[in-house]
A and B are shown apart, each in its own frame.
Chain A
Amino acid sequence: MNILTPFEYYRPETLDEALELLATKEDYKILAGGTDLMIQLKEKMIHPANIIDVTQIPELNEFAIKDGEGAVIGGCTTDAFCEFSKELRDKYPAFSIAAGEIGGPQVREMGTIAGNLANSGPSAETPSSLICYDAKMTLAKKGGERVVDVKDFITGNRRNILEEGELIKNIILPEPAATTHVKYGYVAMRRMMEIDIVNMSIRVDLDGDTIKDAKCVMGSVAIRPLISEKVPEVLKGTKIGDEAVIAKAAEAAQSEVHPISDIRATAEYRVDVVGALVRKLLREIAAEAK
């Protein structure tokens, strides 16, 4: 009845124990929910000798959110928790909505935020909104921790900066200003249980009705989350909701993407969707800011 290549299973109960295992075991994979990992094991894409299950570690299940102080989300916090947490939904709606668009309900009860980031799939739902909220992440290994920006974490298709022996301890979200608006949107074949054709988050910081600063991060259009350079340039200094500017911003985003054609969509269609999502999200922000 076994269809998986044999491995040893470890379930450390403390962070120190986990980091010790990661430092000493060669050829391991971290199990942080399993909704991607188990499929990779079943498909024989990977053959690790050791599976290290980090889901029981208290530090990786911490959750703290306070008025004025942002939030700290343990790496093994489930997607479903982020979807249903009222506090996260109120303060970081784009992230909470994105977490609620991963897989189906059961997948979200199993899957974790660290897992979605560490899997580093080009169509992952959560990175774009986390990058728009200027999120950081704590990476821990035996002998020390480092804090990095989420925007620098994913480097390619299923590639990231995690070093040998290192795991994602938590995600740190700074407190957003009342004048900061972030929206997440996507287009896919169905409403549920889909993989996005394109997903996107846009952030706008307003001074009255003038755009002070902006960010646009796109998923599924490059090997890693693509941070637009041109969209902020187009938007800065303009009035929110100006249709001429919105059209220009959409064109700017379209000029930057180099998507592929695959089973889900053609490259040409993806470019169209990029423009449509920029227009949709900017209009949503304009409506919200009123």
Chain B
Amino acid sequence: MKNQLITLNINGEDMDLVVAPTDLLVEVLRKKAHLTGTKKGCGQGDCGACTVIIDGKAVLSCLTLAIACQGKKITTIEGIADRKTGEMNPIQKAFLNHGAVQCGYCTPGMILSSYALLCENPHPTRQEIRRALSGNLCRCTGYILILDAVEACAAEGGVL
């Protein structure tokens, strides 16, 4: 097993990275691309802390091989703010404005699952929001303020 030089498109930029075939995307993002916004929680696909968006779909970077992501578009929590101005995305603002963040560990995953939902379904029902976030665990907030934030963001014009 040799290390390989691969190119990953992360947040719109091509990055050349040396990886082993066994390297998980979450580790490569955090330790090689130095994008530590993506969190590692359970490592088993249960908690959603490691959620990133690949080709428009919210997926789990702890169950994804980095080498399998060549040719795909990866979006992390660092990639949804306005690239030029650095202004936060509306969904990030909504989380702040509604107090939907406590310890913050689940927040990047929560925001990316919400972002992916609102890209595909700009006007979700409360039930659709609950379902879309059912793969993201939060041990602090009780979820209500998170659901409120997503609902408000949709009502106020969405994420794009």
Q: Give residues in A with beta carbon < 8 Å to B.
A: 1-2, 4-9, 11, 31, 34-35, 38-39, 42, 51, 53, 55, 80, 103-107, 109-110, 191-193
CB of A8 within 8 A of CB of B135, answer: no
A-B contact count (CB 8 A): 89
CB of B57 within 8 A of CB of A6, answer: no
Q: Chain B contact residues (Cβ within 8 angstroms of A): what range? A: 20 to 34
8 A-B pairs with least C-beta separation: A104-B135, A192-B134, A9-B21, A4-B22, A6-B1, A109-B57, A38-B63, A105-B135
Nearest opposing residue in chain B for A41, CB measure: B22
Q: What are the residues of chain B within 8 A of A106 when measuring CB–CB?
A: 45, 48, 51, 58-60, 113, 135
CB distance from A255 to the nearest CB of B (A): 36
CB of A103 within 8 A of CB of B21, answer: no
CA distance A110 to B52 in the complex (A): 12
CA distance A7 to B20 in the complex (A): 9
- Cβ contact of B57, chosen from A4, A80, A104, cutoff 8 A: A80
Q: Give residues in B with beta carbon < 8 Å to A.
A: 1, 20-24, 27, 31, 43-46, 48, 51, 57-60, 62-65, 67-68, 70, 113, 131-136
CB of A193 within 8 A of CB of B135, answer: yes
CA distance A7 to B2 in the complex (A): 9
Known: A9-B65, A105-B58, A107-B60. A192 touches B135 (CB 8 A): yes
Q: Choose among A42, A109, A191 the residue with the greatest number of B CB atoms under 10 Å from its CB.
A: A109
Known: A7-B1, A34-B65. A107 touches B134 (CB 8 A): no
Q: What are the residues of chain B within 8 A of A53 when measuring CB–CB?
A: 65, 68
